A and B are shown apart, each in its own frame.
Chain A
Amino acid sequence: GDSVTQMEGPVTLSEEAFLTINCTYTATGYPSLFWYVQYPGEGLQLLLKATKADDKGSNKGFEATYRKETTSFHLEKGSVQVSDSAVYFCALSDPSDYKLSFGAGTTVTVRA
């Protein structure tokens, strides 16, 4: 079945550091890929998405490129802020039923 594997955390960074969270997936067909973010005490919010190979999703300085050849969708941000501290989830949507499969989540803490 479909699955998502993302790097384990927690990740602790200083402000303005570069952030990468690796995400790889296994799926039949051509899934859509998502990154969701969960800020402390809040629900999940869609951060960005990509629906086909080579698409780049971007939002709030974060970027991720749908790499079919490596089945990856790594999340990057060039200069993090304290407000980026959150749990980040990689997810895929199976095109047959659009159900979401989530990775385990990566906790990111940015220190001032």
Chain B
Amino acid sequence: GAVVSQHPSWVICKSGTSVKIECRSLDFQATTMFWYRQFPKQSLMLMATSNEGSKATYEQGVEKDKFLINHASLTLSTLTVTSAHPEDSSFYICSARAGPAPSPLHFGNGTRLTVT
């Protein structure tokens, strides 16, 4: 079945540094990928929609300059957390559809980011 691979699975970084998270669709092409953030014991919050070959669409309240999204190919989207701060510590999850909407989303295993 459709597999979405996310890397790294966890990362620890110091305040002020930047961290890049990769999301790959392994056996299908995805023109659109989605980035979510999950706080402890809370739901997934959609951060942005990543569009291949064009700018990402950010949800209200999400800083586009802080969370840089690049969807350079049909199988790869990256999320870069710039100038990370401890409050950016969270679980980040990407997802993609293997077919046109409304086909179900397939999720990566997530990335646990800890900013010290």
B93 within 8 A of A: yes
B80 within 8 A of A: no
List A contacts of B78 (CB < 8 A): none
**B108–A34 touching, CB < 8 Å:** no
Cα(A4)–Cα(B43), bound, Å: 10
**B105–A105 touching, CB < 8 Å:** no
CB distance from B87 to the nearest CB of A (A): 20
**A89–B102 touching, CB < 8 Å:** no
List A contacts of B101 (CB < 8 A): 93, 98
List A contacts of B26 (CB < 8 A): none
User: In the complex, which residues 33-57 of chain B have their Cβ closer than 8 Å to any Cβ of chain A?
Assistant: 34, 41-44, 46, 49
**A102–B43 touching, CB < 8 Å:** yes
Seed contacts A44-B107, A100-B44; 20 additional CB < 8 Å A-B pairs:
A34-B104, A36-B107, A41-B109, A42-B109, A43-B4, A43-B6, A43-B93, A43-B107, A43-B108, A44-B93, A44-B95, A46-B104, A46-B105, A51-B102, A89-B43, A99-B34, A100-B34, A100-B46, A103-B43, A104-B43
Chain B binding surface, main DSSP class: strand
List A contacts of B108 (CB < 8 A): 43
Within 8 Å by CB of B102, from A36, A41, A93, lies: A93
**A43–B102 touching, CB < 8 Å:** no
List A contacts of B4 (CB < 8 A): 43
Within 8 Å by CB of A32, from B42, B43, B95, B102, lies: B102
CB distance from B70 to the nearest CB of A (A): 20
How many residue pairs between the two chains, A and B, have CB atoms under 8 Å in the bound complex?
Answer: 47
CB distance from B28 to the nearest CB of A (A): 15
Name the residue on B nearest A34 (C-beta).
Answer: B104
**B102–A102 touching, CB < 8 Å:** no
**A99–B46 touching, CB < 8 Å:** yes
**A95–B43 touching, CB < 8 Å:** no
A83 within 8 A of B: no
**B44–A89 touching, CB < 8 Å:** yes
List A contacts of B105 (CB < 8 A): 46, 100
CB distance from B33 to the nearest CB of A (A): 13
Cα(A40)–Cα(B108), bound, Å: 13
